[in-house]
Chains A and B, each alone.
Chain A
Amino acid sequence: AQKITQTQPGMFVQEKEAVTLDCTYDTSDPSYGLFWYKQPSSGEMIFLIYQGSYDQQNATEGRYSLNFQKARKSANLVISASQLGDSAMYFCAMREGHQGGKLIFGQGTELSVKP
């Protein structure tokens, strides 16, 4: 069974607009962490944002925010004011358990920002 599902293989957004990248997860562990990473065409994996299962508020980091809906098991990434440099693959990942341990990645969403 898929633990992390990203249903959008590709997305387009106009420069300066906001975009939401979907991520749903499946776990029975009450303690877990959710992560988003960006992979530009150069190939490196860049950490964007983290949400813990017990966090009361949605995480935010600059133009990135995480729309965490625990009951629906979703952790969507919102990018505000898109820039051309945001064009990349975006991966959602989950770590089960309290701390440490492997990340389980989704298949990714390729975001293209149009000028």
Chain B
Amino acid sequence: NAGVMQNPRHLVRRRGQEARLRCSPMKGHSHVYWYRQLPEEGLKFMVYLQKENIIDESGMPKERFSAEFPKEGPSILRIQQVVRGDSAAYFCASSPPYSGGLTDTQYFGPGTRLTVL
């Protein structure tokens, strides 16, 4: 019963390059969330997706960042023209379809550590 998978675990990019981060949710989970953790800080919400739909992108920077969760395949967080300030750990979480109760725990992947040189 595999957990949330993220790859790569570590990614190094030079300023101006593109970064693509992948997330495969747990089996049976249809909701995906992306969070960013800057050094010495808590996690900050970026975007919430269901298959082929963006539900909430209120935490996404207006430029250079995009996310998708296609019908087939993993969710992708894409950062164009990276800058040093994008260096952070990016976590993906998934949760199951709603079952009618209040429990909708998000389970996290191991994260991708992005370093921008």
Contact = CB atoms under 8 A, between A and B. Distances in A.
Contacts of B35: 103, 105
B103 interface: yes
Contacts of B41: 107
B46 to A, nearest CB: 9
B69 interface: no
B31 to A, nearest CB: 6
Interface string A27-61: 00001010101000001111100101111000000
B102 A99 contact: yes
Interface residues of A, number: 28
A60 B104 CA distance: 17
B108 A47 contact: yes
Contact of A105 (B42, B55, B105, B113): B42
A93 B107 CA distance: 13
Interface in B9-66: 31, 33, 35, 41-45, 48, 55-56, 58-59
Contacts of B77: none
A104 interface: yes
B89 A47 contact: no
Contacts of B106: 35, 47, 103
A101 B48 contact: yes
A100 B107 contact: no
Nearest to B102: A52
A33 B45 contact: no
B61 to A, nearest CB: 15
Contacts of A72: none
A101 B108 contact: no
A79 B103 CA distance: 22
A85 to B, nearest CB: 18
Which 6 A-B pairs have CB atoms at the shortest separation, nearest pair first?
Answer: A45-B108, A102-B45, A105-B42, A52-B102, A105-B43, A44-B110
Interface of A: 31, 33, 35, 37, 43-47, 50, 52-55, 91, 93, 95, 98-108
